Amino acid sequence: MSLPLLSVLAFALAIGLSCFTPVNVGFTSIALAFLVGVVFGGMKVGEVAAGFPAGLFLILVGVTLLFSQAGVNGTLEKVARRSVRLARGNLGMIPIIFFALASALATIGAGNIATTALLAPIAMAVAGKVGISAFLMTVMVATGANTGALSPFAPTGVIANGIQARIGITGVQWPTFYNNFIAQAFVAFAGYFALGGLRLFGRGRAALDEFLSEDQQPFDGKQKLTLAVIAALIVGVVFFRVDVGMGAFLAAGVLTLARASNEEAAVKAMPWNMIVMVSGVTVLIALLEKTGGMDLFTSILARFSTPTTVTAVVAFVTGLVSVYSSSSGVVLPAFLPMIPGLIQRLGGGDPVALASTINVSAHLVDVSPLSTLGALCIASAPATEDRAKLFNKLLAWGLSMSVVGAIVCFVFFGLL
C-alpha cells in the first residue's frame, strides 16, 4: 500500500473514531501520524513532530487562560450581564448583536480566529446565563467572524490573495471578500431561524429581567484591571497586528502578577481536552501533506469532474476536509495551488470561479468543532453545557455545510 493512501486511511480512521467512540481524536491522530510517518514512511520523528501547530496551540492556550482568569474572578459574568442590555429586553437580539460585533471586528483586520477567540467566551457566558442555545450562539459568532475572514485586511484574506496572486489570479480581493460575506451571512441567518432564534423574542423579557436583577454590584478593582487588559488586547489585535496568542499570554501575565485572579483555578478551568484534540488532528493533516496524501485528491477530482461540475466536486471535497482542519492553515494552502493543474487536466475551466469555490466552501464549514472557530466556542461553553453533545451538533452542522457549499458553488460559480 502506498504511503499517500495509507496516510489518508489513517486520517479517515482517526475521524471515524472521533465520531463513534469517546476517545480524544487528538491523541489518536498524533499516534497514527507517528505510526504512518515513522514506522511505515521511514521519516524522522522530528519531521512528524514538525506538524504540531505551535501557533494554533499558543492561541488556544493563551486566550483560554486569559478568559479563564476573567471567569474565575467574576469579570465575565458582569460583562455578560451588561452586554445583554444592548438587546433592550429582546432575547432574540442577543445572537444578532454578537454576529454583528464579530463581523465588524473580523473585517477591519482582526480576522476570524482572533475575533472568535476574543468574543466567544463572552457570548457563551451570556448564552448560558439567559438560556440561549450554545449551538445557536456558536453558529452566530463563528459565521459572523467568518463573514470578515477574507477581508483584504484580515490574515486569512492576506493568505488567500497571496496564494491566488502566485498562481496568476489578481485584482479580485474585494470580490473574494464579498462572495464569502454573502454566503456566510445567508447561512448564519438561516441557522438563526432554523434553530429557534425568532422564538426567543417571545420569552425574552422575563429571562433578561431575572438575569439582570441577580447582581447589581459594580466592577471591583481586579475586574476593572481584567477589563482593561482585555480591551488593550482587542486594540492591539485590531489596530497594531499584535498576535492574539502572545498578546493573551502577556495580558494573563499582568493579571497573574497583579494577583487579579487565581491562576491555579484558571489553569484547571481551561479546556485541555479540546486543545489537544485540535492540535493532534493538525499533526495528522500535516503528515498528509508531506506524504502526498493531499496530491491524491487532485487526480481523483480530475477523474470525477468536468469543467461544469468541477465547482461542485471541489466545493464538497474542500468543505469536507475543512470540517476537520484549519481553513487558512491547511485547506487554502493545500487546495488553491492545485487550480492550474486541475484546469490543465480537465482541459479548461475558470480559475477565479475555482478560487472562489475553495475560499467559500472552506469557510462555510468552519463551525466544525475540529476547526479553530468551533473549538474556541466549545472551549468557552459554560460549565452547565454538555460539551459532548455540542461537539456532535457542531460536527453535524459542519458536515452538512460541505453539501450546502457544493450546491451554492455549483450554482453560482459553475452554472452561472
Distance CA 227, CA 74 (A): 11
Q: What is the pLDDT of residue 260?
A: 94
Give the length of the chain: 416
Amino acid code (one letter) for 52:
F
pLDDT tens-digit series, residues 100-159: 988 988 887 778 888 888 889 888 888 887 888 999 999 999 999 999 999 887 888 888
Closest CA to 238 of 109, 130, 48: 109
DSSP class per residue in 183-237: HHHHHHHHHHHHTTTTHHHHTHHHHHHHHHHS--PPP-HHHHHHHHHHHHHHHHH
Number of domains forming the structure of the chain: 1
Distance CA 318, CA 312 (A): 10
Grid cell 488556544 in the structure block, residue: 60
Spell out, as residue ranges, where the chain has pLDDT lower than 50.
none
Closest CA to 67 of 242, 270, 321: 270
Domain holding 369, by residue range, is 3-415
| Structural element, H or E, at residue 80 | helix 75-83
Measured in whole angstroms, how far is the alpha carbon of residue 316 from the centre of its chain? Answer: 18
Distance CA 416, CA 266 (A): 52
Grid cell 441567518 in the structure block, residue: 189
The pTM of the full predicted model, rounded to 2 decimals, is 0.72
Q: What is the pLDDT of residue 276?
A: 84
Distance CA 177, CA 187 (A): 16
Phi and psi of 172, rounded to 5°? -120, 25
Helical axes 372-379 vs 54-72, angle rounded to 10°: 20
Distance CA 66, CA 70 (A): 6
Longest dimension (CA), the chain: 69
Amino acid code (one letter) for 308:
T
Number of alpha carbons in the 13 Å side-chain half-sphere of residue 300:
13
DSSP class per residue in 101-141: HHHHHIIIIIHHHHHHHHHHHHHHHHHHHHT--HHHHHHHH
Sign of CA dihedral 255, 261, 266, 267: positive
Closest CA to 110 of 146, 63, 161: 146
Query: In angstroms, how far is the first alpha carbon of the chain from the final one?
Result: 41
